[in-house]
A and B are shown apart, each in its own frame.
Chain A
Amino acid sequence: MSNSATPVLEARNITKLFPGVVANEDIHLTLQKGEILALLGENGAGKSTLMHIIFGLYRPTRGEIWVNGAPVVMKNPRTALQLGIGMVHQHFQLVPVMSVTDNVMLGDERVKGGFLDRDAVAARIRELSQKYGLEVDPDALIEDLPLGVRQRVEILKALYRNAQILILDEPTAVLTPQEAEGLFAVMETLRRQGESIIFITHKLKEVLRIADRIMVLRGGRVVGHADPQTTTQQQLAAMMVGREVLLTVDKGPADPGEPVLELDGLRVASDLGTPALRGVSLQVRAGEILGVAGVQGNGQTELVEAITGLRRVEGGRVVMNGTDMTNASPRRITHEGRSSHVPEDRHAYGMVDVYSIADNLVLNQYYRAPFASGITIQTEPIAEHARALVDTFDVRTPDIAMHAGGLSGGNQQKMVVAREFSRPIRLLIAAQPTRGIDVGSIEFIHQQIVAKRDEGVAVLLVSAELDEIMALSDRIAVIYKGEIIGIVNRADATREGLGLLMAGVRPGSHE
C-alpha cells in the first residue's frame, strides 16, 4: 500500500443538497487498492448519502468521482457495477423466494441458447465461495437462510460482478458477535486478495478492530481522519459527536424488590402464524433492569407486543403487580398495570408524525383530567405539560406546536421517552430505546432509564445492541428462536458468552 499509487476510488469536493438540507458538503475521499477505509459517523452524518452517490443511486450537486485515475459519471447503479463497485446494503437487497443463484445473477445473467445457465452461475458461486471463505449453498432459498449467510450472498453478488471496490453499509447491525468476527475474517481475506473496502459504521470497537484508516463525518462534513493504531474509542466518539461523551453509564448496584412483571410460559404466534414465543417465563423485579439480548427476529418484537397487549397471547400468563393481565387491553395494561412502553418503531407505534409535539406528549392520557374535561380537550393544560416535559427531557424544538415529524430522530425519541416517563409507573418496557439516534441522545436516555430504576421501577429492556444491554442491565436474558435460552447476572456476563447464547448454543452443551 504505497501512497504514490493511483487511488482506486476518489471522491472530490462532493456536495449534495436536498431541499433544505446539506447532506454532504465538500467531501474528499480516497481509497487505495487493498485497504479497508472505515467511514464513521452518527445517523444523519451523511455517510449513506455519500455512498449512494458513489454507487450511482444519487447524483451529486457538485463534485466528481474518479475511478482508477479517470473521472466518471455515475448514471445509475449499473454504471457503478460496471466500474467494479459493489455495495452491500444495510437492508439486504435479496429476493426472499428466489434461490441464491438467482439472486446472485439477477441483472447480470448468464444465458445459454436463450435460457438461464444456472449451472454455470452456481459453479462460479462455489468457486468464489472457496476463494474468499464465503460458504453458501447456491440452491438454497434466501428466505431459509440466517441473516449472516444472506450477507455472504450479498458479498458474493458483488464479487460475481468482479467488484474491486466493496461498500459495506452497517454490515454488523444484524450479526451476532461471532458472525461479526466471521465477517471481519472475510474482510481480511478480501483485503489480502487486493479488494478495497469502504466500511460504514457507527460502532467504535469494530472500526478499531478492522480498519486501516478512519474517516469521521459529522453534519455532512469530514471532521477528521484517524489512524486506528494510535486512536482511542474516546477520541473517536468525541470527533463523531463534537464534544466529550460518556461511553459508560454511571450506575450503582441494583436493589431489587418485589416482582412487578411475571411471565409464565408465554406462547405467541408471529404475523405469519408460526410460533414466535415458545413458552417464555421471566420475572422483572422492582428496581432492576432486565435486558433481553438476541439477534433481531428471535421473538423480541412479539414479546414486547404480548406484554403490552398489542398481540394476542395464545398460552401462558402475563402478571403485573400480582394481577393477571393476559390479553388485557393496552389501556388497562397502561393504567391498572401502571406500565409504560417505549416501542421499538417510534413512527409506527410511538408517535403521530403529523400531530404537534404537545399533542404527542399526551397521547397516553389525553382523555383524563386535567387534559380533558367532559368531551373536550383542554389545550392550556396540554401546552403547559408539554412545555415542562420539553424542558426536562431536553427535546430541542423551537415550538411545542410544531409537528412532531419535523424533529430529528434523537429529539423524537426523547419526546416519546418524555411522555412514557412522565406518569408515575411501576413497570417500564423499553424496546430498542436508542435505535437510530445520536450518541448525545443515547447518553441522555440511558441516564433516564437508570434513574427510573433507582426510583424503584422494574425495567424490561429489549435491545439489539449488545453494548447497550451490557451497559444498562442488572440481569441479562438471551432470547433465541422464541425461547429464553439463558439468564445471567450482569457481573457474570461476557460478550463471548452472550454471543454463544445468541447463536443458540446452550450452556453445558458441547459443540
Chain B
Amino acid sequence: MMQRTLRITSYVAILLVLLFVLMTLLVNLTPLGENRWLRIFFSVSALNFTLRASVPLILGALCGILCERTGIVNIGIEGMMLAGAFAAFVAKTSTNDWPLTASLIFGVLVALLVGGLMGLLHATFAIRYRMDQIISGTVLIILAGGISAYLFDRDAVAQGKFGAIAIPGLSQIPVLGEVLFTNPPLTYLALLLVVVIHVGLFSTRWGLRSRACGEHPRAADTVGINVNRLRYMNTVLGGMLAGLAGGFLVLEAVGQFQEGMTAGRGFIALAAMIFGNWMPFGAMSAALLFGYTQALQNELLLAGVTSVPRQFVSMIPYLVTIIAVCGFVGRVRPPAAEGQVYEQESGSE
C-alpha cells in the first residue's frame, strides 16, 4: 500500500515536472510569452530564482536525511546552517587579500568544518549525554544565533562571490541551458549530492548499515555493526551539508552575512525532508516546490501585481509549506527508531 502510494506520488511529480518544462519552453520561445501572467509563472528568471532559493533547502534536507535515516532527529539544521554561513563569512573576510577563488574555496572549507563541528556537538549531546534530541537541536539554533550575532563585525565586507560557470555545450540548449547549466559551483554540487546520497543510501554498505541503525538499531548491533559510531559519523556529515548550505548563502547567493540570515530555511528544509519522505529525490522535489513559491513571490512583486496585497504574496512560501506538511504527514513514514537512544548491548569498543 505504502509502496504504491509512493510510486504514484513519484509519477505525479515527474509528470508535473515534464509539464512545467514544456510550458517553460513554450512561454520563452513562442508568442505565448506575451501573456503577462504566463511570464510571471514560467519565465527564465522565475526558474533561475527557484533553483537559487532551493539550493540551501536541498542541502539542509540532505543533512536531515543523513541524520534521521541513522536515527538521530535533527531539528537544529537552522542552527548548523547559520553557523556555516557565519564561518564562511569570517573566513572570506579574513582572506579578502587572497586570490578570489582560493579565498572562496577556503570559505567553503571553513563552512564545512564548522557545520561538521555543530553536527559533532549534536551527536555528543544526543548519544553520549542522551539529551532529548529536540532540545539538543534547539540548543544548536540558539547557540548559533547568539554567537554569530555577538561576534559579527558589522563593518566587515566580503569581497566577491562565486560566479556562474557555463557548462560547454549543454548551456547552449535554449532555456534549459540557461536555467540548469549556467550556475555557480555550489549549485551544481548540491544537485550532484542528491544523486550521490541517494545511491549511497540505497546501494552501498554504508547506506544499508545506516538505514538499519535508523530502523532497528538492535538488529544492526546483533550482526556486529557499531550503531553509535555510525550515528556520530552521519550526524557530522549531515552537519557539514548544513554548513555548506550556509556557505552557499554567503559565498554564492548574497555575498555578505546578515544576522539571522538563514531566516527559517533550516525549518523549511526540515519540511522538505518530511514532505519528500526522507528520500533525497523526494526532498529535492519538495525543496524545488518551496523554492518556486519564493520565486513566485518575487516575480509577482517585480511584475507589480497589485490586485493582491503584497503581504499576502509574501505569505505564499510559508502557506505552501504548511499545507504540504499537513497534507502529507501521516502518509510518509519516518525511520522507526528515530530519536531513540541506543544502549549498545555489547558495549562500544
Contact = CB atoms under 8 A, between A and B. Distances in A.
Nearest to B218: A93
Interface stretch (A104-112, A190-198, A348-356): A104-112
A466 to B, nearest CB: 29
A96 B336 contact: yes
Contacts of B219: 93-95, 103, 106
A410 B63 CA distance: 48
Given A95-B212, A96-B215, A106 B225 contact: yes
A297 interface: no
A57 B345 contact: yes
A116 interface: yes
Binding site secondary structure of chain A: loop
A111 B203 CA distance: 9
Interface string B332-349: 010010000000011101
Contacts of A108: 223
A89 B223 contact: no
B198 interface: no
Nearest to B333: A97
B209 interface: yes
Contacts of A52: 345
Nearest to B222: A93
B215 A95 contact: yes
Interface in B188-237: 199, 203-205, 208-209, 211-212, 215-216, 218-225
B224 A78 contact: yes
A168 interface: no
Contact of B208 (A57, A93, A96, A106): A106
A441 interface: no
Interface residues of B, number: 24
A56 interface: yes
B215 A107 contact: no
Contact of B223 (A75, A77, A116): A77
Contact of A57 (B199, B211, B346): B346
B203 A98 contact: no
Contacts of B223: 77-78, 81, 93, 106-108, 157
Contact of A98 (B199, B215, B345, B347): B215
B78 to A, nearest CB: 29
Contacts of A93: 216, 218-219, 222-223
Nearest to A58: B345
A98 B212 contact: yes
Interface string A90-127: 00011111100011011111010011100000000000
B30 to A, nearest CB: 44
Contacts of B220: 106-107
A151 to B, nearest CB: 14
Contacts of B205: 109, 111, 116
A89 B222 contact: yes
Nearest to B202: A116
Given A57-B346, A76-B346, A96-B336, A116 B203 contact: yes
Interface in B292-349: 333, 336, 345-347, 349
Contacts of A96: 215-216, 336
A78 B224 CA distance: 4
Contacts of B349: 75-76
Contacts of A78: 223-224
Nearest to B1: A274
B329 to A, nearest CB: 14
A97 B346 contact: no
A300 B135 CA distance: 38
Interface in A46-84: 52, 56-58, 75-78, 81
A116 B349 CA distance: 26
Contacts of B345: 52, 57-58
Contacts of B225: 106-107
Contacts of B199: 115
A87 interface: yes
Contacts of B209: 106-107
A76 B209 CA distance: 17
A233 to B, nearest CB: 33
A56 B208 contact: no
A98 B346 contact: no
Contacts of A107: 209, 220, 223-225
Nearest to A111: B205
A103 B209 CA distance: 10
A160 to B, nearest CB: 10
A108 B221 CA distance: 12
B222 to A, nearest CB: 5
A71 to B, nearest CB: 19
A97 B224 contact: no
Given A102-B208, A109-B205, A94 B216 contact: yes
A89 B218 CA distance: 11
A148 B345 CA distance: 26
A11 to B, nearest CB: 18
A106 B333 CA distance: 21
A75 B204 CA distance: 27
A152 to B, nearest CB: 16
B89 to A, nearest CB: 37
A96 B346 CA distance: 23
A389 to B, nearest CB: 36
Contacts of A87: 222
Nearest to A91: B218
Contacts of A57: 222, 345-346
Contacts of B346: 56-57, 75-77
Nearest to B207: A116
B136 to A, nearest CB: 25
B203 A106 contact: no
A111 to B, nearest CB: 6
A106 B217 CA distance: 12
A116 B211 CA distance: 14
Nearest to B344: A76
Q: Which of A52, A57, A87, A105 has the most CB of B within 10 A?
A: A57
A98 B225 CA distance: 17
A80 to B, nearest CB: 9
A115 B204 contact: yes
Contacts of A58: 345
Contacts of A114: 204
Nearest to A273: B330
Contacts of A75: 346, 349
A96 B337 CA distance: 12
Contacts of B215: 95-98
Contacts of A115: 199, 203-204
A108 B216 CA distance: 16
A81 B212 contact: no
Contacts of B208: 98, 102, 105-106, 109, 116
27 contacts: A52-B345, A57-B222, A57-B346, A75-B346, A77-B221, A77-B346, A93-B216, A93-B218, A93-B223, A94-B216, A94-B219, A95-B211, A96-B215, A96-B216, A96-B336, A97-B215, A98-B212, A98-B215, A105-B208, A106-B208, A106-B212, A107-B223, A108-B223, A109-B208, A111-B205, A116-B205, A116-B208
Given A56-B346, A77-B221, 4 more contacts: A76-B224, A76-B347, A81-B223, A95-B212
| Closest 9 A/B residue pairs (Cβ) | A78-B224, A107-B223, A76-B346, A93-B219, A95-B216, A57-B345, A109-B205, A95-B215, A93-B222
